[in-house]
Amino acid sequence: MTGDMSVIGLLLEASMPVQVVILLLIIASLVSWTIIFTKRRLLNRTTDASDEFEAAFWSGGDMNTLYSSATRAKGGSLGMSSIFEAGFREFNRALQAGGSSTDKIVDECRRAMRVAQMREVDRLEQSLATLATIGSTSPYVGLFGTVWGIMVAFIEIGNQQTATLAVVAPPIAEALIATAMGLFAAIPAVIAYNRYADKVVRLEYRYDGFSEEFASILQRHARAKQGA
């Protein structure tokens, strides 16, 4: 040891296993923050798009106009608009094909909307498992570095047969750095995962409610068209 007790100095002089642990935790933290910011933008965009579409839908606008707007949306329809688009497309297709009962038409629309909803939820949940993995494993990875640093401290004491601060402090310090890095990587990942998972569940509930209400509307339209 050179006696450099700065954080950078300790990292540069740390044992190879501790350096590997800290490097892995830095990478995990960077991945975690990338997912956090990306997922935050996606959830905000999806929520805003769903709010905007729901307001337009329940304002009593023409569904053909809403469908045209959804299909022409830049980057494709998003959130609730995507579910509406799938259901209304299937509704028009079933009516044009003819020969189907009202219940069958509505069942086919429900199935199309369910597929679209699953696709939307899957897109929202993507990478959340990575956040959960980082949040649950990072403290243990840091703990490994801590245990290794303490073990090195005891080895140094045994080799020099002295327990002075100069002998014990560097390996203990690098062990504590590994612990801190593990917590630094884990805590934001856990908080973000819990927050984003709750938002996804809330959106899924909204999608379920909209699908059922829209299916009831389509059922009334189907009966009116078939009775005409």
d(CA 114, CA 111): 5
d(CA 129, CA 106): 35
- What pLDDT does residue 117 have? 94
CB atoms closer than 10 angstroms to residue 35: 20
Does residue 88 lie in a domain region?
yes
Does residue 117 lie in a domain region?
yes
Q: Inform me whether the pLDDT recorded for 24 exceeds 50.
A: yes
CB proximity list for 114: less than 8 A, separation 6 or greater = 211
44-58, 118-132, 148-162: which has the minimum mean pLDDT?
148-162
- Model confidence pTM above 0.85: no
Average pLDDT, stretch 100-106?
84
* Angle at the Cα of 19 from the Cα atoms of 135 and 1, rounded to 5 degrees: 140
Between 22 and 192, residue with greater pLDDT: 192
The total number of structural domains in the chain stands at 1
Name the residue range of residue 55's domain: 7-227
Does residue 40 lie in a domain region?
yes
- What pLDDT does residue 1 have? 45
- What pLDDT does residue 111 have? 94
Q: Inform me whether the pLDDT recorded for 141 exceeds 60.
A: yes
Amino acid, res. 47: T
Q: Inform me whether the pLDDT recorded for 13 exceeds 70.
A: no
Does residue 202 lie in a domain region?
yes
Give the tens place of pLDDT for each residue, 187-197: 999 999 999 99
Does residue 103 lie in a domain region?
yes
Q: Inform me whether the pLDDT recorded for 2 exceeds 60.
A: no
Q: Inform me whether the pLDDT recorded for 87 exceeds 80.
A: yes
- What pLDDT does residue 222 have? 82
d(CA 101, CA 103): 5
Does residue 163 lie in a domain region?
yes
Does residue 78 lie in a domain region?
yes
Average pLDDT, stretch 218-227?
79
CB proximity list for 221: less than 8 A, separation 6 or greater = 91
- What pLDDT does residue 224 have? 78
- What pLDDT does residue 159 have? 74
CB proximity list for 18: less than 8 A, separation 6 or greater = 145, 148, 149, 152, 174, 175, 177, 178
Q: Inform me whether the pLDDT recorded for 138 exceeds 90.
A: yes
Q: What are phi and psi of 162, to 5 degrees?
A: -150, 150
d(CA 82, CA 67): 10
32-41, 83-92, 111-120, 164-173: which has the minimum mean pLDDT?
164-173
Cα-Cα-Cα-Cα dihedral sign, residues 185, 137, 43, 31: positive
Mean pLDDT of the chain: 85
Q: Inform me whether the pLDDT recorded for 201 exceeds 90.
A: yes
Does residue 43 lie in a domain region?
yes
- What pLDDT does residue 150 have? 81
Cα→Cα distances 113→74, 195, 209, 211, 215, Å? 21, 26, 12, 7, 9
